[in-house]
Chain A
Amino acid sequence: MSINSPQTLAQKIIAKASGKQHVVPGEIVTCQLDLVLMHDSSGPRRVKSRLEDLGAKVFDPSKIVLVSDHFVPATDPESAEILALTRRWAQDNLVNHFYDMQGICHVMLPQQGHLKPGMFLVGGDSHSPTGGAFATFMVGIGATEMTGALATGEIWIKVPETIRINWSGELPDGCSAKDIMLFLCKKLGMNNNYKVMEFGGETVRAMSMFERMVLCNMSAELGGKTGIIEADETTTEWIKSTGQAVDIDALDWQSDNKAKYEAVYHFNASDLVPQVAAPHSPENTDNVDVFSDVTVHQAYIGACTGAKLSDLHMAARVLKGQKVAQGTRLLIAPASVKTTEMAAKDGTLSLLTEAGAIMLPTGCGACAGMGAGAIANGENCISSTSRNFKGRMGSPDSNVYLASPYTVAASAIAGKIADPRLFLTNQP
């Protein structure tokens, strides 16, 4: 392949991070890190002693973003200790970008304006691909590798192939990016290992950044190395809204016209109907009406995937003037403190609580089975989160169904899994 051959966006970012003009899939290169994201569960408690063991210091405290989100607020002495350790470590290592109980890491990073097109980042969490919505290349790594990244500021990577997924047409009302991803989990399976999933087409162009984040977030469920979306005005407008400057080359972060993809898929969004993933895998997806007999004990709106401001708006459009069914509980854990603040300001919060929703603290909460909202033996939960593996949200014999915030809200009203299109009202 010649030095001028066209490249995908992912290749271009990897080339820049490894100080090269050009990289090809399969090549192993060493990349410099623009930013490192860590949270309380996989962060300091795992890397502190390892770094000490190595006798190494963090490569650059200003390039580290630390978030406490998994064990917040502390529910027992163990989680309190983990949080205390996280806070001490931030202080000792001069990590100024420490967001303590302010929101879920994948939402905090964009909310605070840390993401800019062309960046190469790692995160100590499997949903790190979320950052790709901002035309960055962001992958998840484990704790030992994180230690290496923190000590050296670099990481090896095998240049991945890219799969392009185009969506055209308008998403029908009551469908969202979440439905697109559940549909894709079924369609493409969960074993797209080592591939970059690049989303594009007019449907994606028309999406808000919040919705684009869902596409990249759930690239993890497709098994991909990461997800990515080319930069456009929606990207730069978001960055401006956080008070950050937009780099002059921001809009240049695109795949080349003739870039080589491993595969290219085309889907039509206007054909989509609300999707639900049955236990215990996101790929067990089908149309919502298939599940209309399933009793819902708990409806959960939470997580980086499904509790951003846009997600609360979706829920509110369904819940406006309605009541949660007898025998069903609706729990909502907004993705960040700012999300709660905005939802309070624009009236969303009161619509939700009037319908009977129980508001939970911001954080990962029940999504990872670590916080409030665990489910019992034999119970069914419909959830706006991204994963429904066996035992993830509580008892190994509980069942988690995945759906959009629209569908979760509709199911809370019906007490059974329900089609949200029956309840949609105008924007609150």
Chain B
Amino acid sequence: MNSKKIIGNAWVYGDNIDTDILAPGPYMKASLAELAAHCMEAIDTSFACQVKKGDIVIAGDAFGIGSSREQAAQALVELGVAAVVAKSFARIFYRNSLNLGLPVLFCPDIENVDKGDEIEVNPETGVVTNHTKQQTFQCEPIPPELMTIVNAGGLMPYLKSKFAKENKSG
């Protein structure tokens, strides 16, 4: 399974990054790629064009608050974001992310991270390391029940193998 390390550069945002910031309503009819190109533009126009595969988003409270639109998490996945570490998450966003295979970690204590810092995330132990600042934070690990889904790459691949097994045995 993919217990490979998640290491990337940080993009740092504050509290209440809502689903309209992540997936702006006016682009909801557009393709995922186009929608993702407008991700965060209401607060940071550089994000969508400069974020690199493997980068990590660090944020404050209530990340992903608002609508149930899965595109909020999908846009981040599309742009290559490898993990989100926030003080807290809105619940639908949290579930959506894990269902899409995007590791998201509650980290109430995280602080002192600057844009570009090198961050390492271990979703199973909940340890987040800021290599640039040489600081370590203990976050809430993702529960094992849910880690199975994340490791499978999300709920769809997970269900797919489950159905395939059932069909074989049935």
Contact = CB atoms under 8 A, between A and B. Distances in A.
Contacts of A225: 91
Given A46-B70, A142-B99, A143-B70, A193 B154 contact: no
Nearest to A56: B163
Given A54-B160, A147-B155, A396-B42, A141 B95 contact: yes
B96 interface: yes
A125 B159 CA distance: 22
Interface stretch (B1-9, B13-21, B46-54, B117-125): B13-21
A78 interface: yes
Interface stretch (A130-138, A235-243, A301-309, A383-391): A383-391
A389 B20 contact: yes
Nearest to A143: B70
Interface residues on A, range: 35 or more
Interface in B56-114: 61-62, 65-70, 73, 88-92, 95-96, 99-100
B99 A387 contact: no
B99 A391 contact: no
Nearest to A395: B26
Contacts of A112: none
Interface string A20-60: 00000000100000000000011000100010011110000
A373 to B, nearest CB: 12
B62 A54 contact: no
Given A193-B89, A223-B65, A53 B160 contact: yes
Interface in B136-168: 143, 145, 154-156, 159-160, 163, 167
A376 interface: no
A256 interface: no
B144 to A, nearest CB: 10
User: Of A56, A144, A156, A389, which is in contact with the most chain B CB atoms at under 10 Å from its CB?
Assistant: A144
Contacts of B43: 390
**Interface of chain A, main secondary structure:** loop
Given A56-B163, A140-B68, A142-B68, A391 B156 contact: no
A401 B18 CA distance: 17
Given A369-B26, A391-B25, A281 B68 contact: no
B85 to A, nearest CB: 16
Given A148-B159, A389-B21, A126 B67 contact: yes
Given A140-B92, A145-B99, A193-B91, A28 B25 contact: no
A424 interface: no
Contacts of B91: 193-194, 223, 225
B13 to A, nearest CB: 13
A370 interface: yes
A193 B88 contact: yes
A83 B62 CA distance: 32
Given A141-B68, A191-B65, A390-B21, 7 more contacts: A76-B29, A142-B95, A191-B62, A193-B91, A281-B16, A390-B20, A396-B41
Interface of A: 28, 41-42, 46, 50, 53-56, 71, 76, 78-79, 82, 124-126, 128, 140-145, 147-148, 151-152, 156, 190-191, 193-194, 223, 225, 281, 368-370, 374, 387, 389-392, 394, 396
Interface of B: 16, 18-21, 24-26, 28-29, 41-43, 61-62, 65-70, 73, 88-92, 95-96, 99-100, 143, 145, 154-156, 159-160, 163, 167
Which 7 pairs from chain A and chain B are nearest by CB? Answer: A369-B25, A142-B96, A142-B70, A126-B68, A389-B20, A144-B99, A78-B29
